[in-house]
Amino acid sequence: MLARTLAVSAVALLALAGCTSEASTPAPVPTTTQSAAPSETILNPELAPQVVSAVTADYATTEGVRLADAIQALIDPAIVLDTGEQSQTVPADDDISSYFGILRVITVDPANDPIVLAQTLNAVLSQSGWSVSQTTNESGIYLSTLVAGPAEAPWVLFIEGNASVAGEASVSFTLGSPDITA
């Protein structure tokens, strides 16, 4: 799980920065916290991953795209200037199992604060079946790591609100599926 979390984080950072692995900066290792007892009322059930007994590549892809669409739907389309996406099923190797990952970068009208947007996504998701394991807010960049689903097969989500460049604003998220087991 930790290896996959780090791999998803590294892929997200590389894709966002547009660099190669040789020039990348090591990603901070997210800490995991125990989630509180599930709330009896989930704010938005569409944001909670569907639980299955065996994670297949088809399930991971379909559910990953569904979740990404549901997360993006929280952002008012009237403020979206552009959306970029990269997705792939990452093959297994000696250190990690195969999983599906999707990155969406949403450029928004700079009149909107991307940090507030990312914090709002974080707040809605945390009331919709996701547990926040880490957040940072430094130098005009807000980062949050969330997990959802069963502990033995969690979905991992990284959210970023970036206001570090004057006149530009973006919100991005990277979603990693549980390990593909079937």
Please, which residues have CB within 8 angstroms of residue 106's CB and are 6 or more apart in sequence?
72, 75, 80, 82, 83, 170, 171, 172
Residues 118-172: tens digit of each pLDDT: 999 999 999 999 999 999 999 999 999 999 999 999 999 999 999 999 899 999 9
Whole-model pTM over 0.85: no
| Structure confidence by residue, pLDDT tens digits, 49-93 | 998 989 999 999 999 999 999 999 999 999 999 999 999 999 999
Q: Which domains does the chain have, with CATH numbers?
A: 2-21+56-176 (3.30.2030)
CB 179 within 8 A of CB 98: yes
pLDDT band at 38 (very low <50, low <70, confident <90, very high): very low
